[in-house]
Structure 1
Amino acid sequence: MNIALFGYGKMGKMIEKIALDRGHKIVAKIDVDTKEIDFSQMDVAIDFSMPSAAYKNIEQCISHNVPIISGTTGWLQDYDKAVALCQEKKGAFIYTSNYSLGVNIFFELNNYLAKMMQHLDQYKVSMEETHHTQKLDAPSGTAITLAEGILANSKYQNWSLDQGKEDEIVIKAIRENDVPGTHVVDYSSDVDSIEIKHTAHNREGFALGAVIASEWIIGKTGVFSMRDVLNLG
């Protein structure tokens, strides 16, 4: 499989290593200084670029009939446009805030716990996410996905960063050196607390999931998620 990498930072380099180990070929490494892009050799593209570049990368790939896997966060104001373009062009597209296989199982646990807790008003939910200091967005896309899962299965109306109203999920974002990603969802009452937590030990799980998603999407048409890739639905 011929893979193009949009974004060649730490994640791009890790994806490259895993893809090569799995027998694939990297045919393009597109970064901020890339002037010309040859889409003709690409079987699939994997985007871990910048929020300001993500939609353009997705648009170009879909327009050139190249399936694209996007893991860039912070660009979701254009997500509906990307979906509409993919449907119009009969392309193939996956976006998720986190490609880690463990995190996607964690998403499912989070949704299930939210359903169980939705009528127990004595518990107040809060969230905490910790990442490396180079992470540009806060809260993380993974934290937002977790919050959206709770919102869909509870009486909460919104989420907010650091402080919020009674009907909002408060997310605390912490930035520390060399932390790949830790997410905690906590339900606390006066008598006890219930907590679920995912801790990434390194970035390899994110990269592996992106490569697995790129293998899965070949030959398919539509807008998908990691729930589809992992058959969690």
Structure 2
Amino acid sequence: MKIALIGYGKMGKAIEKIAIAKGHEIVLRTNSQQPLEKEQLQQADVAIEFTGPETAYHNILKCFAANVPVVCGSTGWLDALPAVKAVCLEKHQAFLYASNFSIGVNIFFEVNKRLAELMSGQPQYNVVMEEIHHTQKKDAPSGTAITLAEQVMDKVIRKKIWVNEATEQPDELSIISKRIDPAPGTHIITYTSDIDDITISHTAHSREGFASGAVVAAEWLKDKKGIFSMKDVLSL
């Protein structure tokens, strides 16, 4: 499989290492400062986009214009996600977005949803979240933390909105963001009461889990049309 790497930072290089080890070919490596040329993109069977909130939207549209399926892991741009999905369907393209490509994290998402469902009828418990990442992480809270928070609020309806700070408001879900080196990523959800606490957490030991999942997603997306997620890739 021929892969275009859009975003050649630490994550892009980790993806490259795994992709090459699996026998794939990297036909394009570009960072956010380099223009994406249609002719270059068309050499690829699939593009993997890991840049940032300033460039992700336009990069995805350029992939669609080149008729190249795109796997996107950039965060901080999701206000434009509905527009991207509309273009994808209109142009009959393939798009897969995930706030986190780690297989372990995506299983953790399912655990989080189930626990939130169980706790929805237990108002004596307050729920709080904490996420820890390296100091070069551009956005806070992380895309993974936002996904987890939205899953909680979908089930625990007494929480109406998440806030990126400690809060005592009963309708607010607190997400505490910490930036510490080295820290590839930790997410902790705690339900606390006067009697006891229930905590679930996921800790990444390296970027390899995220990078490996992105390559698996790209392999799965090749030759497909439509809008997908890691739930589709992993049959969750």
Equivalent of 2:212 in 208, 211, 215: 208
2:26 counterpart of 1:22? no
- Aligned equivalent of 1:219: 223
Q: Which residue of 116, 137, 140 maps to 2:139?
A: 137
User: In the alignment, does 2:160 pair up with 1:157?
Assistant: yes
CA distance in 2, matches of 1:36, 1:96: 22
**What is the aligned partner in structure 2 of residue 63 from structure 1?**
65
Unaligned 5+ segments in structure 2 are none
Residue-by-residue CA offset, 1:22-80 (whole Å, 9 max, x unaligned): 00000001113324521221100001112100001111101211000000101111111
Tell me how far apart the structure 2 counterparts of residues 34 and 129 of structure 1 sit (CA, whole Å): 32
Distance 1:171 1:60 in 2: 34
Q: Which residue of 1 aligns with 2:32?
A: 32
- Secondary structure at the residue paired with 1:178? coil
Query: How far did 1:9 drift?
Result: 0.3
TM-score normalised per structure 1? 0.98
- Residue equivalent to 1:101: 103
Using the TM superposition, name which of 73-82 and 158-167 deviates more. 158-167
Residue pair 2:16, 2:26 contacting (<8 A) in 1 also: yes
1:175 partnered with 2:179: yes
Among the aligned pairs, what percent are the same residue?
A: 53
Question: 1:129 corresponds to which letter in structure 2?
Answer: E
Is 1:190 equivalent to 2:187 in the alignment? no
Once residues 172 and 232 of structure 2 are traced to their aligned partners in structure 1, the CA distance between those partners, rounded to angstroms, is 29
Runs of 4+ in 1 over 6 A off after TM superposition: none
May I ask how many residue pairs the two structures share in their alignment?
232
